[in-house]
Amino acid sequence: MDKILIFGLILMTALGIICQPKAETSSPEIAISGLLTIQQNSLLANAPLPELKVIQTINVVATAYSSTPEQTDSDPFITAAGTQVRDGIVANNLFPMGTKIRLPELYGDKIFIIEDRMNSRKGYYHIDIWFPSYWEAKNFGAKRTYIEVLES
């Protein structure tokens, strides 16, 4: 029953119906300036993300890879940083692990994290974006673009 109530509240909020508690009850559901909370747990927030400062802009060649042994090593689902591959991971040989970057021409404000390395023959001005499937990576191809290196 609780799952149905929570689903209904989420659905009502998504449709723009904001729940207001009745004055005579002590209902835990309240709406506070666009933020729906249930028992002090935030479900939806419209708060803007903090602005990240761009410290460097560099021209690169962007390619893509997926978790196949032909494109990686014998453990294709683990990055060079020791983390699990996931959306937003890129490989690069120039910047330290954990460096945050954006590719504005290709992905707008999406933030990527460098957690993998590439073969040394690729050099420093090349990034490889991880994709969940071989075909997505292949269809991405190679693109000349620039990256914005973000302050950590």
Residue 29: pLDDT over 50 = no
pLDDT of 95-132, one tens digit each?
999 999 999 999 999 999 999 999 899 999 999 999 99
| Residue-by-residue DSSP string for 14-76 | HTT------TTS--SEEEETTEEEETTEEEE--PPPPPPPEEEEEEEEEEEE-S-TTTS-S-T
pTM strictly above 0.85: no
The pLDDT score that the predictor gives to residue 52 is: 86
Range with lowest mean pLDDT among 31-35, 75-79, 113-117: 31-35
The full set of domain ranges for the chain reads 2-44, 54-150
Residue 76 in contact with residue 99, Cβ under 8 Å?
no
Q: Is 109 left (phi over 0), alpha (psi -120 to 50) or beta?
A: alpha
Q: What CATH number should be reported for the domain whose range is 54-150?
A: 2.40.40.10
Q: What angle do CA 102, 115, 77 make, to 5 degrees?
A: 120
Residue 8 corresponds to which amino acid?
G
Return the higher-pLDDT residue of 93 and 21: 93
